[in-house]
Amino acid sequence: MLIKDIFAKPIDRNIQGVIKVGQAKDENVQQELEEYVVTKELQKHFKTIFDAYQRSINTPTDKMGVWIQGFFGS
């Protein structure tokens, strides 16, 4: 058995380093979503956003906003 055989996906598959808005093909988007890793830190931030969103469903407000910032590869 080779080390590459222990991985669920082929390690020599094509991986797009950067996918920009408007350049995304369906197969690239699918790969990004399938391989996205939600860390504990991200889970905490997602919970904060979704909790606020859920509260706004029952109590509508115009004071809701989300700023998402990051760098390629982050």
Note whether 51 and 58 are within 8 A (CB): no
Q: What is the dihedral of CA 15, 25, 70, 60, to 10 degrees?
A: -140
Mean pLDDT, to the nearest integer, of 24-38? 84
pLDDT band at 47 (very low <50, low <70, confident <90, very high): very high
pLDDT band at 17 (very low <50, low <70, confident <90, very high): confident
pLDDT mean across residues, the chain: 84
Domain layout of the chain by residue ranges: 30-60
pLDDT band at 74 (very low <50, low <70, confident <90, very high): low
Is pTM, for the whole model, over 0.75?
no
Q: What would the two tokens of residue 13 be?
A: 């598959």
